Amino acid sequence: MSVTQETPVRAPRPGAEVLAEPMRSRWSPAVFATDVPVGDDELAGMLTAAAWAPSTGNTQPWAYVVTRAGTAAYDAVIASLSNGNSGWVPTAPVVIVAAALVGEWEGRKGMGDYALYDLGQSVAHLTLQAQAVGLHTHQFAGFDHEAAAAALGIPEAYRPMVGIAVGRLGGDEHVARATEGDVARHTKDRTRRGASEVGYDGVWGTPFPG
Ligand SMILES: Cc1cc2nc3c(=O)[nH]c(=O)nc-3n(C[C@H](O)[C@H](O)[C@H](O)COP(=O)(O)O)c2cc1C
């Protein structure tokens, strides 16, 4: 069976049937359809979802720099990637750098550590909006944050936290061009600790039933 035929069983996973869409279908591929562009309307929808996330005191301490393959900005992000990410990230036609407001910028401030919390929640909304319109995302921390910030003109008040590869799921022809390591990353088993392991019932240590 080909990788592509197998991929639908990667999401949802057994035990995840209770999840509503698009959480149920979301997963992070390492092989994207490089040659299929992402529309500006789709990207605008993702940024709108990110903007409508809740945040501490409605401070909205986030910013996103969208880069498209074939531009100097995209190439600069690719050049900043860690070794482990340098094979698969460039298969995505769009890479977004997400940054949190940790200082003061144009009269706005985040709320200390909550700026990082708020950015994560905003990114979650962005990724789920992407999934809902048939796109996939894969976040990555493995890049030179300072180099990327300098190349993209991100001010010091904003801390780059994560890159987000965006595109459509790669087909067999894309998988065939990927390295063995990236195919392994693409097809690795997805596991989670269960609800009764992460949730306690009333008091710490008493597993939530189910
Ligand atoms: C903040 C953050 C940083 C991550 N960094 C990397 C990374 O540098 N390279 C990578 O391949 N995946 C990275 N990931 C992806 C995770 O490994 C992935 O989300 C996790 O294994 C769960 O898989 P799933 O998204 O398919 O459910 C990162 C995810 C997050 C949220």
The CB of 140 under 6 Å from ligand 1? The reply is: yes
Residue 15 pLDDT grade (very low, low, confident, very high; cuts 50, 70, 90): confident
Q: Measured in angstroms, how far is the CA atom of residue 208 from the centroid of ligand 1?
A: 26
State residue 1's pLDDT score. Answer: 36
Average pLDDT on 131-157 reads 98
pLDDT digits (tens, 9 = 90+) for 82-125: 999 999 999 999 999 999 999 999 999 989 999 999 999 999 99
Q: Measured in angstroms, how far is the CA atom of residue 84 from the centroid of ligand 1?
A: 12
The CB of 123 under 6 Å from ligand 1? The reply is: no
The CB of 143 under 6 Å from ligand 1? The reply is: no
What CATH code would you report for 28-187? Answer: 3.40.109.10
The CB of 142 under 6 Å from ligand 1? The reply is: yes
Q: Measured in angstroms, how far is the CA atom of residue 190 from the centroid of ligand 1?
A: 11
Average pLDDT on 168-178 reads 95
pLDDT digits (tens, 9 = 90+) for 176-203: 999 999 999 999 989 999 999 999 999 9
Query: What span, in angstroms and rounded, lies between the C-alpha atoms of 149 and 109?
Result: 19
The CB of 85 under 6 Å from ligand 1? The reply is: yes
- Given a cut of 50, whether residue 5 has pLDDT beyond it is no
The CB of 121 under 6 Å from ligand 1? The reply is: no
Average pLDDT on 156-167 reads 98
Q: Where are the domains of the chain?
A: 28-187
- Determine the distance from the C-alpha atom of residue 155 to the mean position of all C-alpha atoms in its chain, rounded to a whole number: 22
- Determine the distance from the C-alpha atom of residue 171 to the mean position of all C-alpha atoms in its chain, rounded to a whole number: 20
Average pLDDT on 119-138 reads 98
pLDDT digits (tens, 9 = 90+) for 54-92: 999 999 999 999 999 999 999 999 999 999 999 999 999
Q: What is the 3-state secondary structure (H, E, C) of the chain?
A: CCHHHHHHHHCCCCCCCCCCCCCCCCCCCCCECCCCCCCHHHHHHHHHHHHCCCCHHHCCCEEEEEEECCCHHHHHHHHCECHHHCCCHHHCCEEEEEEEECCEECCEECCCHHHHHHHHHHHHHHHHHHHHCCCEEEEECCECHHHHHHHHCCCCCEEEEEEEEEECECCHHHHHHCCHHHHHHHHCCCCCCCHHHHCECCCCCCECCC
Q: Which atom of ligand 1 is nearest to the CA of 142?
A: 8
- Given a cut of 70, whether residue 6 has pLDDT beyond it is no
The CB of 28 under 6 Å from ligand 1? The reply is: yes
State residue 110's pLDDT score. Answer: 87
